[in-house]
Structure 1
């Protein structure tokens, strides 16, 4: 739904499109984020289940190899939506967050309940970073500063997010792209693709920067990283299957989905994630966006439990879709 009035956009100025009204970005045929009154209704509803102060991973911190070559594909969970993808000799990070909090403040906001699954000092050389949108649990400027200093990677992000990143991290190699763009990078092609979400860093910049998922295409197969998304009747999953023909791996969010009346348009639940895996024709899927930052109402272990139930109800083997924990390493089978 497009905005009904024009708002000065501090991040991006460009031509109107099917998802940009000349002022704000929007989800075609979709639903905008809830109003402030809805946010207050949720916050004061009393439905949030308390999380433990610590939720340590059963996996020790990973110490990745420098490179993974040939047709191999290795995935390592850092935490939340931060994962290391190693394939075709490339090291790719998604939505990297090594900070203690997903917040504009160092002293308040959602705090990690487990350590990153890879110690920052143990990262292999990072070539490429995919930043899906500007919410604090996905775009962490402090981490990008560290990565710029230690690795000098290229960052690919949707339109408008470059204005936020470049001001905070001068000298960072950075490309901002629209839905449908393709970027060739060494042995890979990166496709920027639509998802159903929104963006904001504060109270006055809603939908001024675009949100997206990514498809990483190499000789080892295609990988779909959905970033953060609502199910949106499966529209974007069907589009991915039609455009890309299926995936060796899909990295899909499975957490931060309750209460449904408020979260459903923007955050899919585990049952929807399983449907998404099927619709986009992914051979394997990794569940992320759960168990690290307490963002919504559901209990900490519920996403993994509901994922297992959803797979069983669809008669799908559990090894096809893992709810990944920090430090977990998965060598994705060939297809």
Structure 2
């Protein structure tokens, strides 16, 4: 694997080469085709639950992802706004502090859903993708339009990596391998994703979690695995065979709620997180990749829904992510920001409370009364 200070080239695994171009697209957006080899691709064997039927995970009282034919309707239907080939961040590449102790909380966006969270002496990285493409291929798939906001060489030693689900814009094997080799960091991910990670990241110290479970990660720091409304797939035969989740991190300085991807789902999960965990100092919420709504609504919330989620969860501040790096859907590159500002103004929420982060941007989160 080639490594440099900024990017990681995507891995070119021979197992991916058998897929067609349509297969690659289906990998990113989902496929409705059944496969006779489903059992061979099963990532998790465990007891039945309210979100696992013995083979597939699902969203209780939720919506299944769209079919392959609906995918083709979207792809062939037009309406996709042009994106620039290069959209540099106004912020320089960040060089984070090595450690941040005590109650201070600092979040830095590397890009898309990759956030460096620093507090209580811990360095936590979410959904790290340093590869040039969010794709199984080196030659096709969504390509980043700005470099990572933190050079890989400038990352401080990472203690904990949180991987929310297995889509390529969130689970990047090349980046995970580099981090495991460099830092011997602990990787925490929902059920089944270890079967994807371990064959490539052979040095991984990996822990899997189910919804509702808690894990002590350091003195005074507890990690909770919580529901979100999404789905999973890496190929044509493994749809919903690994779990997806959000994470709630209890720290001495307050609670941090990280959501990698989610549909709004009538705000059910947001209200539940507030009822279960109480006040939240910071929520990391996605607000991009949401058009067309008829296709994306079950899996990606839009800016207005993200603001509703902020209110429903009781978050004092939000770090907004999942926009402006990989072109995944139809909206223009800057449309999420304009829509977010309009939604915040309509809700009477100060814009500085919901920061739409750009790569390299550092958010020193204000303290809140506990």
Structure 1 length-normalised TM? 0.98
Shift of 1:298: 0.3
Q: CA-to-partner distance for each residue in 1:81-133, whole Å, 9 max, x for gaps?
A: 00000000000000000000000011111000000000000000100000000
> Distance between the aligned counterparts of 1:153 and 1:171, measured in 2?
9
* Alignment match, 1:33: 65
In the other structure, the counterpart of 2:26 is none
Instruction: From 101, 111, 121, give the equivalent of 1:79.
Output: 111
Residue 106, structure 1, aligned to residue 124, structure 2: no
**Equivalent residues in 2 for 1:131-146, closer than 5 Å:** 131-146=163-178
SS in 2 for 1:167: coil
Q: Which residues of 2 match residues 1-335 of structure 1 at below 5 A?
A: 8=39, 10-187=42-219, 188-335=221-368
C-alpha distance in structure 2 between counterparts of 1:21 and 1:172, whole Å: 28
The runs of 5 or more residues in structure 2 that have no matched partner are: 1-31
SS of structure 2 residue aligned to 1:76: strand
CA distance in 2: counterparts of 1:314 and 1:109, whole angstroms = 36
CA RMSD of aligned residues (A): 1.2
Q: For the Cα contact (< 8 Å) 1:240–1:246, is it kept in 2?
A: no
**Map of 2:15 onto structure 1:** none
Q: Distance in 2 between matches of 1:275 and 1:46?
A: 29
Measure how far apart 1:30 and its partner are. Answer: 0.3
TM-score (norm 2): 0.88
CA distance in 2, matches of 1:113, 1:99: 12
Structure 1, residues 34-85: CA drift from partner, whole Å, max 9, x if none? 0000000000011111100001000000000100011100000000000000
Distance in structure 1 (CA, Å) of the matches to 2:209 and 2:363? 30
The answer to whether the 8 A contact 2:42-2:55 is kept is no
| Offset, 1:203 | 1.1
Q: Distance in 1 between matches of 2:310 and 2:131?
A: 30
Deviation at residue 186 of structure 1 after TM alignment: 1.1
Give runs of ≥4 in structure 1 deviating > 2 Å. 5-9
What per-residue deviation string (whole Å, max 9, x for no partner) do you get for residues 15-40 of structure 1?
A: 11000011100000000000000000
Query: Contact 1:127–1:151 at 8 Å: present in 2 too?
Result: yes
* Secondary structure of residue in 2 paired with 1:62: coil
Q: What is the CA distance between 1:165 and its match in structure 2?
A: 0.4
Deviation by residue 1:148-193 (Cα, 9 ceiling, x = unmatched):
1111100000000000001111121000110011010113110000
SS at match of 2:118: strand
Q: Would the aligned equivalents of 1:110 and 1:295 in 2 still touch at CA under 8 Å?
A: yes
